[in-house]
């Protein structure tokens, strides 16, 4: 594991080099270009119909959107895997979660007919789609070279 993280600023898109030990010690780094707080916790972010464009298609780093529902068993099985990937790939990839029951407009706009579905966005466009619960290694392989 590298002793440095490269974190992309969610505000201006600048790449920032941050010492992993400082972040682990509780430091909250800010962007060297614009001063905005940098994402270091690697937790998935919840998106809605109203925040999708800002949080996903307008985001500077690639975003993997997990379309899920609370009643879906495979969705619940996939959640811990995506949380782990979010922590491991913080600064390179953002994980977003969209509840399809509460946000049907975005699910319809994306043409989602089954869940769990994961849609990868890069530079505001869909670049990959995965349907069904998948093991971590399979998801990571799909992300290689993109995120």
Instruction: List residues with catalytic annotation.
Output: 72, 75
Cis status of the peptide bond prior to 145, with omega within 30 of 0: no
Residue in the block written with tokens 């509780």: 26
d(CA 139, CA 147): 11
Please check whether residue 65 is in contact with residue 129, taking contact to mean a CB–CB distance below 8 angstroms.
no
d(CA 63, CA 147): 8
Strands (DSSP E) contained in the chain are 4-8, 15-19, 45-46, 63-68, 94-99, 117-122, 125-131
The alpha-helical segments, DSSP class H, found in the chain are 20-24, 52, 73-88, 104-109, 136-143
């Amino acid at each position: 594991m590298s002793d440095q993280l490269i974190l992309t600023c969610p505000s201006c898109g600048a790449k920032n080099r941050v010492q992993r030990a400082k972040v682990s010690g509780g430091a909250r780094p800010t962007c060297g270009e614009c001063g905005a707080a940098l994402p270091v916790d690697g937790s998935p972010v919840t998106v809605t119909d109203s925040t999708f464009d800002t949080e996903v298609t307008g985001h500077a780093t690639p975003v993997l959107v997990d379309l899920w529902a609370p009643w879906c068993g495979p969705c619940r099985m996939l959640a811990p895997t995506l949380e782990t990937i979010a922590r491991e790939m913080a600064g390179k990839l953002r994980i977003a979660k969209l509840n399809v029951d509460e946000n049907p407009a975005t699910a319809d706009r994306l043409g989602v007919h089954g869940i769990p579905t994961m849609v990868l966005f890069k530079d505001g466009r869909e670049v990959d789609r995965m349907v069904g619960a998948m093991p971590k290694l399979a998801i990571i392989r799909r992300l290689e070279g993109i995120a």
